[in-house]
């Protein structure tokens, strides 16, 4: 272990688990400071320039404040691509990548797809890249999120059409026009805040995370009704969900005459996706 990795680990060991500290150390050295990975593995002693030393100290300071490394880097990996992220959008999760893969697997012939609550645009852009013959539209209420999504759209040479819309309040002409609607809406209740890690609670946008305890399925209820009007016959609706409300979400779909309702577990064995046919 050289002096740089020793300094990183010593600075972070009281905050992060050992394996995470080890991973952060390599990421900081190789990806953010541009050091040679072999030199790091071999324990070669490296002298940083004054500029690089200041950069390292700033990274450590931000990590000690529980800021997610993805926000510090400004990018997060999702479905094999790097997406720009900042504190105005959620950091993409592996479970959400499972949702994308399921949609692609089941809808190779889909022509029109809609992503509601797009955030960084990771779902919509990934679908656009994986289904090149389809048209993808994406909505979000946050102008800050849409600005980031459009940057990702340009950087990744995607063709997604982004619109600012409040799915709870907006009323527009509802003409059935989508084969697939997907949404990963806010689903964390206020009472669940105590169970959340500080780097999520203190840094990721509450607008994209939280719903009232007394109405935890408000977005699902609205989008299910909206899907009844916007989905073409035989169209499909896909949700990422709070694991606590899998059966309740499925019941909403069944009560609104959706067919083939499924609750699907994620890689961690938790109810995470609900899907149905119109």
Query: What's the confidence (pLDDT) of residue 61?
Result: 98
Q: Please say whether the beta carbons of 183 and 219 come within 8 A.
A: yes
Start-to-end CA distance of the chain, whole Å, equals 58
Strands 75-78 and 81-84 come out as antiparallel
Q: Are 223 and 185 in contact (CB under 8 A)?
A: yes
pTM of the model: 0.93
Residues in the annotated binding site: 117-121, 140, 184-187
What lies within 8 Å, CB to CB, of 132 at 6+ separation is: none
Distance CA(166)–CA(23), nearest Å, equals: 39
Express as a percent the part of the chain with pLDDT over 70: 99
The pLDDT of residue 72 is 98
Q: Which of 115, 112, 116, 154 is closest to 133 using CA atoms?
A: 112
The CATH code belonging to domain 87-277 is: 3.40.50.150
Cβ neighbours for 189, distance < 8 A, ≥ 6 positions apart: 210, 211, 212, 213, 216, 242
* Token pair of 211 as six digits: 């719903």
What burial class does residue 178 get, using C-beta atoms within 10 Å of its C-beta: 0-12 exposed, 13-18 middle, 19+ buried? buried
Q: Which residues are annotated as a binding site for substrate?
A: 184-187
How many other C-beta atoms lie within 10 A of the C-beta of residue 92? 24
Residues 49 and 24 sit within 8 Å (Cβ to Cβ): no
- H helix runs in the chain, sequence order: 3-12, 18-26, 37-41, 50-64, 69-73, 94-106, 122-130, 143-155, 198-201, 206-209, 218-230, 246-255
Q: Which two tokens stand for residue 101?
A: 């893969």
For 31-69, the pLDDT digits (tens) are 999 998 888 888 787 889 999 999 999 999 999 999 999
Reduced 3-state DSSP string for 65-118: CCCCHHHHHCEEEECCEEEECCCCCCCCCHHHHHHHHHHHHHCCCCCEEEEECC
Query: Can you say which residues are annotated as belonging to the binding site for S-adenosyl-L-methionine?
Result: 117-121, 140, 184
Which residue ranges of the chain lie beneath pLDDT 70? 1, 170, 172
Nearest to 241 by CA among 225, 261, 219: 219
């Amino acid at each position: 272990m050289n002096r740089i990795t020793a300094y990183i680990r010593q600075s972070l060991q009281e905050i992060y688990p050992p394996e995470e500290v080890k991973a952060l150390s390599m990421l900081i050295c190789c990806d953010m400071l541009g050091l040679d990975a072999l030199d790091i593995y071999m324990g070669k002693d490296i002298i940083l320039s004054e500029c690089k030393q200041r950069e390292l100290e700033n990274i450590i300071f931000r990590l000690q404040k529980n800021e997610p490394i993805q926000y510090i880097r400004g990018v997060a990996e999702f479905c094999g691509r790097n997406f720009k992220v900042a504190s105005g959008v959620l950091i993409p999760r592996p479970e959400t990548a499972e949702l994308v893969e399921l949609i692609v697997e089941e809808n190779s012939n889909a022509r029109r797809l809609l992503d509601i609550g797009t955030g960084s645009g990771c779902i919509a852009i990934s679908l656009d890249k994986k289904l090149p013959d389809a048209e993808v539209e994406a909505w979000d209420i946050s102008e800050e999120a849409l600005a980031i999504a459009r940057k990702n759209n340009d950087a990744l040479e995607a063709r997604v059409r982004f619109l600012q819309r409040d799915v709870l309040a907006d009323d527009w002409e509802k003409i059935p026009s989508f084969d697939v609607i997907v949404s990963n809406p806010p689903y964390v209740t206020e009472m669940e805040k105590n169970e959340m890690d500080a780097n999520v609670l203190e840094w990721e946008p509450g607008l994209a995370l939280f719903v009232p305890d007394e109405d935890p399925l408000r977005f699902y209820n609205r989008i299910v009704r909206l899907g009844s009007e916007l989905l073409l016959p035989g169209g499909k609706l896909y949700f990422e969900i709070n694991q606590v409300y899998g059966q309740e979400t499925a019941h909403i779909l069944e009560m609104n005459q959706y067919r083939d309702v499924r609750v699907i577990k994620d890689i961690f064995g938790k109810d995470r996706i609900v899907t149905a046919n119109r």
